[in-house]
Amino acid sequence: MEEDLPRFAIDIPEETSAGSLAPAAFFADEVYKDYWLEIGFGTGEHLAAQAGLHPDIGILGCEPFINGVATLLTTMAKAQVENIRIWPDDARMLLDALESASLSKIFLLHPDPWPKKRHHKRRFIQTETLDAFARLLRKGGELRIATDDADLANWMLSKTWSHPCFDFQADCADDWRSRPGDWPETRYGQKQLAGQPVYFRFLRV
């Protein structure tokens, strides 16, 4: 990991002003047709799978836990996937630095539910976070959220549903109860640790 992480790590210079970094800047001479972001990628299964399926997309991944970063780097090496860049720190720092309308997809899959009421302010989906997502996503861009925690699902749906910049993409319950075909399964998703997993999709309007 000591050799691979510097190659794939995202660097945000100290003098960077808010909203000034284009995702393309993290990929040296590589040019991609679009850029996606996954926040809290865990061991990176979904991230690596999406990168392998879409070699023409540059994908940014945020994960503060070093074990998860190490596992992703091993997967990338085995699969020879190189269209990923990693931010091994608090995702909010990267959100603040990126240019407006620079992403076409954002993934937030199985975030920490912070079940105790006094900890709800630590949940990642808040109005302020959705404001940041709305700034970063292009018009028609997609926000995908997954969880198997019923209380967190209600929280995330309520927050995002009421946000004026997002349109919920579901006509019936099966639209959010069933994992879309282009949404790679992960071992965590298969466990269904807390209950019925949900797969929410929102478009930036």
Catalytic site includes residue 112 = yes
User: Residues 56, 90, 96, 112: which is the catalytic one?
Assistant: 112
- Computed from CA positions of residues 73, 76, 82, 87, in that sequence, does the dihedral angle turn out positive or negative? negative
Task: Tell me the residue type at 74.
Answer: T
Catalytic residues: 112
